[in-house]
Structure 1
Amino acid sequence: MKDNQPITSDQLLNEDEFSLERTLRPQSLADYLGQKKIKKELAIYIEAARQREEALDHVLLYGPPGLGKTTMAMVIANEMGADIRTTSGPAIEKPGDLVALLNDLEPGGILFIDEIHRMPRIAEEMLYSAMEDFYVDIIIGQGDTAHPVHFPLPPFTLIGATTRAGSLSAPLRDRFGILAHMEYYHKDELKDIVLRSANVIQTEVDLNGAYEIARRSRGTPRIANRLLKRVRDYAEVKGEGIVTEPIAALALDLLRVDHEGLDIVDQKFLSTLIKLYNGGPVGLNTLSANIGEEVDTIEDMVEPYLLQEGFIQRTSRGRMATPKAYEHLELTHLITD
C-alpha cells in the first residue's frame, strides 16, 4: 500500500511495517549494528552467565523509541539460548496477570516487559521478591477464607524496556543489575542498517542513496527502515527501482522529511516556538495546545532528538529555541536580544 502522506515520528507502524521490522531484526550481537558499548558489556555478562549455567542478571534497556530495545531483548534471549515471553506494562492489569507470566517461565527463561514504567504499582511491587529471591506471595480466597501462598519461581531474567527511566520507582530500578542506555545512532551506522535492510527486502540501494536515507532518519533505525520502504515505493514508480541519492532526496522531500531528519511535527514545534513566542521560554503544555499534539508525544517522540541535535534547550522557565533552530528554518531575522 502506498503512503503519500507526510510521515511524523510518532506514527504507529501498520501491520505490514511490523512484519517488515520483524524480518529485519538481527538474531545475534554480531549482527546487531550500533550500540557498541552496550554490546561489548552484554557479551561479557552473557558469556559469564553461560559459563556458570546461571540466569543472566536482570536488564533494563532505556532510551528514546525506535532504537532497538525490543530487538536487543530478542538478541539477548538468542545468545543465552533461552525462551522469551513478551508483554507490556499496560497489558499487566493485575498481579494475577504477572503471576501467570512468571509461572510460564522455564529455568533460565526471560520475561520481556516493554513500557515497564506503565505497569500498575501493585504488580510492580510483586516483582520485587520475584526479581531478588525468585518467589511471589499471593492471596488465595476471599474474606475469612483468604490466606497467603508462598509461590516459588525458577531463576529467570527480567528485561525491562522504557523510554522514561526516570518514571521507574527507585526500588524497581535498583533491582536491575544491568542498566543499558540506548543512544541515537551515528549516520554511518544507520547507513549500514539501511544497506542491510535493503538486502533483506531485495531492494537495490547505492551508498549515496543509503546515506541520504540515514541522515534523515533522526538517528533511529526504526525510522530508517520505515523511510527505506517509502523510498523504495518511490523508486519503483518514479525511477528504475534503484534507490540513488537523487531518488531518495526527492522521495523524502515529498514526505516532508528535511535534510536534518525533522518531520512536519518537529518543524511545527520549532516554528511555533519561534514565531508565536519569540523563541521562548514557553511551557510545554502551551506548545502542546498550539500544535495539537499530546504532551507525552512531544516529550517522548519530538523533544529528545531536538535536544540531542541542539535545536532547543530546556530551562526552568520552559523550552527555548537555539540559534541553530532559527538558521534551520531560515528565520534568523526573527532573532531578538
Structure 2
Amino acid sequence: MSEPFNDYAAPESEAELAFEGALRPKNLSEFVGQTKVRTQLDLLLRAAALQGRAPDHILLAGPPGLGKTTLAMIVAEETSQPLRMSSGPALQHAGDLASVLSSLLPGEILFIDEIHRMARSAEEMLYLAMEDFRIDIMVGKGAGATSVPLELAPFTVVGATTRAGLLPNPLRDRFGFTAHLEFYEDAELEQVLHRAARLLELELSDDALTSIARRSRGTPRIANRLLRRVRDYALVHETPASGEAVDRALELYDVDALGLDRLDRAVLHGLISRFRGGPVGIKTLAVSIGEESDTIESVVEPFLVRSGLLARTPRGRVATELAYLHLGLPVPEQIPLA
C-alpha cells in the first residue's frame, strides 16, 4: 500500500526553493567581492539613470560561479526593469533571436548566458540590434526575397561568457562596458559563507568558515554548495558545525584541504603515475583518465594551474613539485618543472 501524501513536507520543499533565490544578492550593496567591477557598474547605472536612458550593453567575463548571472539580475533590479533570460546555445538561428528581440519591452534587460556559443547568423543580427536598435527580417525566398527593417525599443544586453577570447571582435566592440570577474580571496568567501549561513539559520564557528573558504577554489558557488553539505552533515549527525565537522563532512564528499576533488586528483595521479609528471598533451591525458579534454581544460586545469600544482608548457602539461608533495608522493630528483 502506498504511503499517503505528506502535507507537512510541502512547506519544507518550498522553503528550500525559496532559499535558492534568497542566496543571490538583490543589489550591488549586498554583493560581496569584485570591488572594482561593482564600482564601475554602479557608476554606469547611475549615469544612465541621470540621463534617462537605457544603460550601455554590458559584457561579464570570467570563470563559472563568480556571479555573472547574479550581476545581470542586479542590473535589472537597480534599473527597475524586467529581465529576459536566454543563452547562446538556445540561439542557434537568426529567427530565434529575432523573436526574442521583437518582443522586448522598452528598457528591458536581455541576459544572454554563454554568449560566445551563439550561432554566427544570430551574432550578425545582434550586431545591428545592439547598435541601431533594429533588425532586418527577410520576407520571401529566392530572387523575390526582400529585407524588411523592424525598429526595436531601446534595450540593454548583458552578456556572460567564460571564454571571452571566443567572442568575435565585432560583437565584443558593441559592448559599452566589459567587466572581468576575478577569483575571490578567502576573506571574501568567508563573508559570502557568513551571509549564507545566516539565511540557513546555521551557526558556524570561525574555524569552520575558514576551512570551507579554503576549500572553495575562490568561487562563491562552490562555497555555498559546500556549506549546504556541511549543514546536511551537522543535521544528520546532530553535531555543531565546527571546523572538525567541516573536515569530516567534506572528506566524505572527496574534497581535500586545498579544495581538490576526485577529478582533480585523478588528473594529477594520471599525469604523475602514467606519464612521469609530463609533459603530456591535454587530449592524451584526458583519454588516459577517461574524461573529456574540454572538461579538464575548462573545469580542472584553471584551478590546478592557479594553485601551482600544474603547469602548461609548449610541450604539454607538467606536474610541479607541489603536486608531488600534496599527493604525498616522493619527489623525483629531476622533474620537468621545478
Q: What displacement does 1:122 show?
A: 0.7
Q: Does 1:92 align with 2:91?
A: yes
> Alpha-carbon deviation of 1:332?
3.5
In structure 2, runs of 5+ residues without a counterpart are 1-13
Amino acid at match of 1:290: S
2:237 aligned residue: 238
Residue 93 of structure 1: CA displacement?
2.2
What residue in structure 1 maps to residue 212 of structure 2? 213
What secondary structure, in the 3-state scheme, does the structure 1 residue paired with 2:136 have? Answer: strand
**Residue 336 of structure 1 aligns to which amino acid in structure 2?**
Q
Matched residues, number: 322
Q: How does 1:83-232 map to 2 (within 5 A)?
A: 83-232=82-231
- 2:19 touches 2:199 (CA, 8 Å); kept in 1? no
- Normalising by structure 1, we get a TM-score of 0.91
Give the match's secondary structure for 1:334.
Answer: coil
1:23-34 aligned at under 5 Å gives the runs 23-34=22-33
8 Å CA contact retained: 1:278, 1:335: no
Q: Give the distance between the partners of 1:291 and 1:196, measured in 2 at CA.
A: 38
Residue deviations 1:159-189 (CA, integer Å, cap 9, x gap): 1111111111111112111111111111111
Q: Aligned with 1:128: secondary structure? A: helix
| Alpha-carbon distance between aligned partners in 2 of 1:325 and 1:213, rounded to the nearest angstrom | 21
Does residue 323 of structure 1 match 2:307? no
Question: What TM-score, normalized to structure 2?
Answer: 0.91
What per-residue deviation string (whole Å, max 9, x for no partner) do you get for residues 73-113 of structure 1? 10111111111100111111211111111122222211000
Measure the CA separation in 1 of the matches of 2:19 and 2:286.
32
- d(CA) in 2 for partners of 1:38 and 1:298? 28
Q: How many angstroms does 1:233 deviate by?
A: 0.8
Cα distance in 1 between the residues matched to 2:73 and 2:326: 38
Alpha-carbon contact 1:65-1:300 (below 8 Å) kept? no
Structure 1 CA distance for aligned equivalents of residues 43 and 289 of structure 2? 46
Structure 2 CA distance for aligned equivalents of residues 18 and 294 of structure 1: 32
- What amino acid is the match of 2:63? P
> Counterpart in 2 of 1:82?
81
Q: Give the corresponding residue for 1:259.
A: 257
Secondary structure in 1 matching 2:92: coil
Partner of 1:10: none
Please tell me whether the aligned partners of residues 90 and 119 of structure 1 are also in contact (alpha carbons under 8 angstroms): yes
2:93 and 2:293 map into 1 onto residues whose CA distance is 27
Cα deviation 1:134-172 (Å, max 9, x = unaligned): 111110222354211101111111111111111111111
**Corresponding residue of 1:282:** 280
Deviation beyond 2 Å, 4+ runs, structure 1 = 15-23, 141-146, 332-337
Which deviates further from its counterpart, 32-41 or 320-329? 320-329
Q: Of the two, which has the highest radius of gyration?
A: 2
Counterpart in the other structure of 2:41: 42
Q: How far has the Cα of 1:333 moved from its partner?
A: 2.9
Separation in 2, partners of 1:200, 1:304: 31
Distance 1:19 1:121 in 2: 38
Work out whether residues 281 and 315 of structure 2, in 8 Å CA contact, stay in contact via their aligned partners in 1.
yes
Q: Do 1:278 and 1:334's aligned partners in 2 also have CA atoms closer than 8 Å?
A: no
Structure 1 residue runs of 5 or longer lacking an equivalent are 1-14
Displacement of 1:226: 0.8
Give 1:294-333 correspondences, 5 Å limit.
294-333=292-331
In 2, Cα distance between equivalents of 1:138 and 1:216 = 51
